Amino acid sequence: MNKRIIWTLLSVLCAGQTAAQELAAAPRLAPTADQAQTAYLSAQILSRYHYKTVPLDDAMSEKIFDRYLKALDPERLFFTQADIDSFADTRTRLDDAILRGNLSAPFAMFQRYELRVTERLGYARELLGQGFDFSTKESYPYARDKAPWPADEAEVRDLWKKRVKNDWLRLKLAGKDDKAIRDTLAKRYDNYVTRATRNKSEDVFQIFMNAYAMSIEPHTNYLGRSASADFDISMRLSLVGIGAVLQERDEYITIRELVPGGPAARSGKLAVGDRIVGVGQGDDAVADVVGSRVDEVVKLIRGEKNTRVVLDVLPADAGPDAKHKQVALTRDKIKLEEQAAKKSVIKTGEGATARKIGVINLPAFYEDFEGRRKGDKDYRSASRDVARLIEELKKEKVDGLLIDLRNNGGGSLREAVELTGLFIDKGPVVQQRRPDGQIGVEKDEHAGTAWDGPLAVLINRGSASASEIFAAALQDYGRAPIIGEPSFGKGTVQTMISLDQIARNDPPKFGDLKMTVAQFFRINGGTTQLRGVVPDIRFPSVSDPQSFGESSYDNALPWIQVKAAEFRPVDEVSPRLADLQRRHDARIAKDKDFAQLLQDVAEYKRLRETKQLSLNETERRQEKERQEARLKSRDKGSKDKLAALQDDGLQYGERSLAADLAAEKARKDSKDVLLTEAARIVADEAELFATRTQLALRERNAAGAGKATTLR
C-alpha cells in the first residue's frame, strides 16, 4: 500500500477517534475504544479498496445484521422471533455503529445471545430429571439453518425438549443406563454454558467484524491479533513453543500429542494425557490455568526462542488431589510437519502390469513469506518441499505421479505458480484481474520440469483457490488428467493488510484484514469462480453444493470470462482420456470397495435430505442395527476398529482421551478407495505413456531404416 493511501487512512482514523473515546462504561463484554477505532478504519479500507466496492449504508447494515445473527445462532435454537423483533431498530443501524464508533448494539445482541444460551441449557438440564417416552411417533428437526425462528417460548422449549430427547436416545441406543445418561448430559450442558460465558470482548468483536467483512464478499475477513498470528503460523508451518498439541477436557488443559523432536518430547518428562494446571514464565511465579480456555494457555506457552517456560503438571493417571510435578522447558522452533507435503508409494497390478505410483499429498500451499523476504536459503514452501519429494520418488523409480489436493483450501498464489512450474516448461499459469479492470499474467519463468512423466491431480469439493489455480493450469495445458469431484469454486485473490501498520501502532493492537483485491482467471480465459475445476474423470461426491462451496454463498462474485493468455498446450491428456475413462469404468464396475463407497454416498445423501431424526426407539434401533450390519459385513477383522466407527452417543472430549485417539486412528486407517483408484488411473496412464513411447521409437527407427535403404 503506497504512502498516499496510508496518510489518507491516518487522517480517517483520527476523525473516528473522538467518537470512539465517547464510549460509555458498559457491563461485561463491552466494546473498547481500540475496537471502535479498528472498526472505523476497517470500514474506510473495505469501502474504498476492496475488489467489490460496496458502500457501508443501511442496505449493507441489513446484510451484516443477518450474517451476525447466523454466526451467533446458525441452527436457530436460542433466539425466538420475539428476540429478532426486539432487535428491529438495530437492523439498519449497524453501519452507523461502525462509522460513529459506538458498537454497543452488536454487543447488546451478543449479551442477549449469552442469556438465551444460559436459559436454554438450564431448561435442558431440568429435563434430565424427567423421563422420556420413546414409543411415541415424533421426530427432531436437526437441520434448522433455513427454518423460521421459533415463534415464542413454548415453541423453543418444545424444540429443546426434542433435542434433549434425541441426545438421551443416542446414549441409550449405545447401551448406557439412565444414571450414566443423566450424568453425561448434565456435564455436557454445563460445559456448553461454561464455554458460552467465557467469551471475551475480543471474541464478540471478531465475530461481528467478520459478519461485516463477509457481507461484502465471502472470502474477506477480519483477523484479530490472535487469529492473525495463527494464520501466519499456518503459512510458515512453524512456531516457537514446546511442541505439544493441547485440548480442553473438563476443566483441564490436556496434552493430546507431543510433536517429535520438540522440547516437550525431548524432555522425557511429559506424556499424552498429562494435564497442565499452571504456567510460569522464566523465574516468575506459576499462574493457575485450571478452567482457562485452551487459546489462553497456548498464548502463555508460546514465546521467544530460547526463553524458559515452567509447566505445573498433573500426571495423566493421577487423581485431582495427587502430587503435581513442575517441568521447565526451553522454547524452540517447532516445525508443523503434519501440515507439510508428504509422499507415499502405491503399488498397483501384478507381473507385467505392476506399477509403482508416487503420491504427494499437499494439505496447503504454504510459504514462509518472512523467510523468503529476508533471503533465508532454507525458507519453507510447498513447491520446494514437493520438488524435494519428487527427487526422492525418482530414486524409488516410480512409474507415475499423483498430486493429492483433496481438502487443500489454498494459500500462497506464488506457490501455486511455482508448483505448476515443476510440471510445465516456461509459460503463463494464471491471470489476475485487478479492480481497475487491468489484467496481469503470472508466469513460470523457469525452463525445464521436475517431472515430465505420467501425472494426475486428485481434487474434491474442499480443493480451493491455489489448488484450483494449479489444477486448472495443468488441465489447460493438457499436462495431467484431473480426477475427483468439482472443486470449491473460489476464483478470488486476497491480501493481508496490517491495520496496525497503517495506524502506526506500537505495540500492535488493531489486527489485520484479509481482503479480496483481485479475481483470477484460467489461462484459457475462463475462471474457477462458482463453477470450480470440473474433473476429466469424475468420482462420486458426498458434498452438497447448496451448503458447501462457492455456490452456497449468496454474495459470491459471478462467473465471467476474459481473453485467453498466449500459451502452447502440450495436450498429453486428450489422446488418452477416452481410454483412461473406459478402463476406470470397467474396473469400478467389478470393485467391491468402490461399490460400497457408492452405497455410502447414496446413504449420506438420503440422510442429508431427510433433515429429521425419529425419536421413536424402535425405529431408531432398527436404523442403528441396519447401519451396524452394513459395517460388519464389510470389515470382519477388527472389532476395535468397528467399535470406533459406530455411534456411541458421545461428543468430542466426552470419551477418554485414549478412546478419542483410537477413533481418530480408525478413521485415518480406513481404506481410501478414491486414492487407490486414482493411483490405478495413473498406472493406466503410465502404461499408455510407455506404449506410445515405444510406438514412436519404432516409427522413428523404421523411418531411419527406410532412408538408409534409399541412399544405398
Residues labelled as active-site residues? 465, 476, 490
| Helix, strand, or coil (residue 441) | strand
| Helix, strand, or coil (residue 180) | helix
Distance of CA 279 to the CA centre of its chain: 30
Write the Ramachandran bin of 82: left for phi over 0, alpha for psi from -120 to 50, otherwise beta.
Answer: alpha
| Pairing label, strands 482-484, 455-459 | parallel
Q: How far apart are the first and last CA of the chain?
A: 73
CB 229 within 8 A of CB 239: no
CA dihedral 275, 278, 279, 284 (to 10 degrees): -150
Residues 244 and 298: their CA atoms lie apart, in Å, by 10
Amino acid at 80: T
CB 486 within 8 A of CB 471: no
Beta bridge partners of 365: 411
Distance of CA 102 to the CA centre of its chain: 33
3-state helix, strand, coil split of the chain in percent (to 5) is 45, 15, 35
CB 23 within 8 A of CB 40: no
DSSP sequence for 186-213: HHHHHHHHHHHTT--HHHHHHHHHHHHH
Residue 253, all three cell numbers? 488443559
| Pairing label, strands 139-140, 439-444 | unpaired
Residues 583 and 686: their CA atoms lie apart, in Å, by 13
| CA torsion through residues 10, 12, 15, 16, sign | negative
Write the Ramachandran bin of 357: left for phi over 0, alpha for psi from -120 to 50, otherwise beta.
Answer: beta
In the numeric block, the cell 489444477 is attached to: 471
CB 189 within 8 A of CB 124: yes
Residue 391, all three cell numbers? 527427487
| CA torsion through residues 531, 532, 535, 538, sign | negative
| Helix, strand, or coil (residue 348) | strand
